[in-house]
Amino acid sequence: MLALAADTFSPVDAPIAGALRSLDTRQWEGKVCDVAWALLTAYRRQLLAAGYDFDEVPAPSEPLGLNTSLLPLDRPAPATKVPEIPRLLSFSEDGFLLHLAFEDRAAREHIRAIEEVRCVDDKGVWRVPWGAEAALVELGVLPDAAGILAPVVPPVSPQVGVWQEGDQLVLAHPYDPELVDEAKQLGGRYDGKSSPKCRRFPLSRAREIGAFAERHGLPVYARLDEELGDARRRAEASRAIASDFVTKGLAREAWSFQAAGVAYNLETRRTIVADEPGLGKTLTALATLEAAQAYPAVVVCKAKLRTVWADEITKWLPHRAVTIVDGRRATEIVARDITIVDFDVVDDRTVDLLRCAPRALIVDEAHYCKDGGADRTQAVQRLADAIPHTGLVLLISGTISLNRPAELIKPLEIVGRLKEFGGFEHFVRYYCDGYRGDFGWVKDGANLERLPELHERLRERCYLRRRKSDVLDLPPPRVESVPLPLTPSGLAEYRRAEADILDYVRRRAASRGQNAEARVKSARKAEALVRLNALRRLAAEAKLPAAIEWLRAKADEVGKVVVFAWHREIQERLADELEAAHIFGSESEKDIEAAKRRFQNDPDCKVIVCSLQAATEGHTLTAAHDVVLVEEAWTPATIAQATARCYGRLSDPHTVTCWHLIAEDTIDVDLVEAVAAKAAAVDALVDGIVNPEAEGSSVQGVLRSYCRRRGVVVDPVPNARGPVRPLARRKPGGASRAAAPGTHRR
């Protein structure tokens, strides 16, 4: 049962499968096993694909069929006697779908009394309209949802306004072209068959729909105040730095702001824990796990952080047993309270993990799950789908969005919240300024005006974020730039490479328009990135002697310094020249921990050299108060994570200074400006901080800026967005006609 994803089952079988998944394995005996056998007979092929031969499972001596009365389907005892014949409920866009057996005459008579009910096929499937929940509660197929699904019935059938039908909000407005365009921006599902024509939204969109109605003077018949009040309360709770909530089961008492985070997580159940690095997100997640008693649990993290997690669990929850999954080969995992697995093998071990029947999932550094096509992301999605609704799904990341709002789409889908933001298409169009291109959705932009709204909506639903400046009363990190001269030989080599890339830009501009296919644009973008990285490396090599001299003086002045670089050859030369400890990508966990202990505890070890790609997450280097970037990173999140390695912790609060060593008149200058531009979008999304003068940036933007500084004013790389060919529209006869010439579909 656990080997199959939740979406494998049909709408009819899904409630039964969910109930079977929620059972403790000790309850799988006798009649419950017979019910599971009867359900899985229709899924032989799917089981075989997952590595199980259903035909080898012995059949029960007296099959019971799908007698769902044996299962905990989370429904109260019905007001009337429920026959042994099963009654199953699923959902559609137009209402409930009730599956009744032909022999269940009492239920059929009961259903026929409901207005607008109709039988949709000859297999006993009835469509029940939204608003008939009470009748379904009487039949025992729907929980009593008073206060959740109970609608406010308008005094008369409205033609305009906002009202509630079942678990949907309905918006109808007078026809006005501008009003129609604004309503389209809200997304939702357009219902042109109803009277009046309207748009339908989930209840979670109450704040947006209420604001729209207020702006245009539309009457509101639904009880939006309660929904909005709850949303505002949750938003405040996501910022709370103190709470009366008492954390239990920990070896030592948690901080008050962490207790506030636990209370928020327990209410939302599926949450993005995005506190700034150094505020103990690991402890907040473990305290939530213990408070909810959501065991067994699975922790997914980077391979080099598995022992860090095991140590933290032993420190805070010494009474809990821990298993670390090692290797890709499919073997049985000994079920413990907490199982730790790394991103590299989680896709190969998903079935083994599902056999443990986890009730909680914690994903550390969850920004690694932003790519929906990656194996690790799909594996994490399967694990999250298998967690029961009473369990926990916690995504941990202090930098959940590295560059742009589109990186939030997959994390929101993993926690089951994307539909609360209007679904994929609405999110892309509304927050990313996205559009459908020739080869799929283009979503690498950002609507800076709407990002603060997105930030607030995240807090209202599933986003816990506190900053060090609020919790520890510390000033933000100080940022300083230090211009450095280049060696004559290094400068000459850099200028030759610069001339080559400027010639490349001119050639690309001259050939522009000859072939504007998206694949060619993508190839040119990749080539531009390679050339820019070559310039970065040459600039770093040319300034390296001056950088080493500056670092020696800084280490003598302040005592300890953490140095970050991008290219491996630069890292190695820095470590050799400065006789420094180091954390590189190819080192083992044992060597990394030894280097960290040496830097933190040995007064003679003044410098540690770290990789910008491998050492910006999960490491504590607070013995230093100064971080130095010898090479620039591409994203503001990488710089923030690097700085956070030294920024004060709860046990050692102190501020930090981030030094940027800039090679004068090189690509370094453009990269610093580009990262600052990206930081504006990230700040608006992650912290709700608005910079009205900010603009986005990209690889093309860096190259464009670099060329313009040197007198090449042409657009160096064709804009990936470009003019978009309008989508063909179908005539009733089947032929297609293009949109009017000169128009663009966004």
SS (HEC) of 460-477: HHCEECCCHHHHCCCCCC
**Per-residue pLDDT band at 78 (split at 50, 70, 90):** very low
Residue length of the chain: 746
- CA-based torsion, 302, 305, 306, 312: positive or negative: negative
User: Of the spans 129-143, 208-222, 260-274, which averages the highest pLDDT?
Assistant: 260-274
The better pLDDT of the pair 587, 146 is held by 587
Q: What is the pLDDT, as a whole number, of residue 262?
A: 94
Q: What percent of the chain has pLDDT over 70?
A: 69
The angle formed by the CA atoms of residues 21, 25 and 31, to the nearest 5 degrees, is 85
**DSSP run (H or E) holding 649:** none
Cα-based distances in Å from 134 to 76, 130, 147, 148: 13, 10, 13, 12
Q: Distance between terminal CA atoms of the chain? A: 44
Q: Contact 87/99 with Cβ under 8 angstroms?
A: yes
- Residue 487 tokens, joined: 């060696």
Cα-based distances in Å from 54 to 12, 30, 62: 21, 18, 18
Please give the order of strands across the beta sheet that includes 168-172: 161-165, 168-172, 198-202, 189-191
Q: What is the pLDDT, as a whole number, of residue 680?
A: 66
**Per-residue pLDDT band at 29 (split at 50, 70, 90):** low
The better pLDDT of the pair 67, 231 is held by 231
Nearest in space to 375 (alpha carbons), one of 342, 421, 398: 342
Helix axes 699-709, 488-510, angle to 10 degrees: 110
Q: Contact 465/239 with Cβ under 8 angstroms?
A: yes
User: Of the spans 394-403, 459-468, 577-586, which averages the highest pLDDT?
Assistant: 459-468
As a 3-state breakdown, the chain gives helix, strand, coil percent values, each rounded to 5, of 45, 15, 45
| Half-sphere exposure (Cβ direction) of 693: Cα atoms closer than 13 Å | 1
What value does the CA radius of gyration of the chain take, rounded to a whole number of Å? 29
Amino acid making up residue 390: T
- How do residues 397-425 score in pLDDT, each as one tens digit? 887 876 788 889 999 999 999 888 878 88
Q: Does position 264 have pLDDT exceeding 90, yes or no?
A: yes
State the Cα–Cα distance between residues 545 and 551, nearest whole angstrom: 10
**Per-residue pLDDT band at 743 (split at 50, 70, 90):** very low
| Half-sphere exposure (Cβ direction) of 307: Cα atoms closer than 13 Å | 8
- Residue 653 tokens, joined: 């609060």
Q: Which of 212-226, 390-404, 704-718 has the lowest mean pLDDT?
A: 704-718
- CA-based torsion, 432, 433, 435, 438: positive or negative: negative
Residue whose tokens read 């929620």: 22
The better pLDDT of the pair 613, 509 is held by 613
Q: Contact 270/295 with Cβ under 8 angstroms?
A: no
- Residue 609 tokens, joined: 């050299």
Q: Which of 136-145, 434-443, 578-587 has the lowest mean pLDDT?
A: 136-145
Nearest in space to 446 (alpha carbons), one of 461, 469, 429: 429
In our burial notation (b when 16+ CB lie closer than 10 A, e otherwise), range 352-369 reads bbbebbbbbbbbbbbbbb
**Per-residue pLDDT band at 73 (split at 50, 70, 90):** very low
| Half-sphere exposure (Cβ direction) of 204: Cα atoms closer than 13 Å | 17
**Per-residue pLDDT band at 74 (split at 50, 70, 90):** very low
**DSSP run (H or E) holding 617:** none
Mean pLDDT on 89-115: 71
Longest dimension (CA), the chain: 93
Q: Contact 48/54 with Cβ under 8 angstroms?
A: yes
User: Of the spans 37-41, 158-162, 279-283, 722-726, which averages the highest pLDDT?
Assistant: 279-283
Q: Does position 479 have pLDDT exceeding 60, yes or no?
A: yes
Cα-based distances in Å from 414 to 281, 426, 623, 685, 706: 19, 17, 37, 19, 39
Mean pLDDT on 222-246: 80
**DSSP run (H or E) holding 736:** strand 736-737
Q: What is the pLDDT, as a whole number, of residue 700?
A: 55
Classify strands 561-565 and 581-583 as parallel, antiparallel or unpaired.
Answer: unpaired
Mean pLDDT on 240-245: 88
State the Cα–Cα distance between residues 626 and 645, nearest whole angstrom: 10
- Residue 170 tokens, joined: 């309905």
Residue 549 CB contacts under 8 Å (≥ 6 apart), including other chains: none
Q: Which of 191-200, 518-527, 613-622, 632-641 has the lowest mean pLDDT?
A: 518-527
- How do residues 642-692 score in pLDDT, each as one tens digit? 888 887 666 667 778 888 888 877 877 777 777 777 776 666 667 666 554
**Per-residue pLDDT band at 478 (split at 50, 70, 90):** confident
Distance of CA 479 to the CA centre of its chain: 29
Residue 475, phi then psi, degrees to nearest 5: -70, 155
State the Cα–Cα distance between residues 129 and 656, nearest whole angstrom: 60
Q: What is the pLDDT, as a whole number, of residue 526?
A: 55
**Per-residue pLDDT band at 6 (split at 50, 70, 90):** low
User: Of the spans 36-45, 256-265, 695-704, which averages the highest pLDDT?
Assistant: 256-265
3-state secondary structure of 81: coil
Please provide the average confidence, as pLDDT, over all residues in the chain. Answer: 75
Q: What is the pLDDT, as a whole number, of residue 265?
A: 93
Q: Does position 704 have pLDDT exceeding 80, yes or no?
A: no
Q: Does position 18 have pLDDT exceeding 90, yes or no?
A: no
Residue whose tokens read 């309503």: 183
Beta bridge partners of 272: 395, 463
**Per-residue pLDDT band at 726 (split at 50, 70, 90):** very low
Mean pLDDT on 390-401: 88
Q: What is the pLDDT, as a whole number, of residue 81?
A: 39
Classify strands 360-364 and 297-301 as parallel, antiparallel or unpaired.
Answer: parallel
State the Cα–Cα distance between residues 287 and 435, nearest whole angstrom: 42
Q: Does position 266 have pLDDT exceeding 90, yes or no?
A: yes
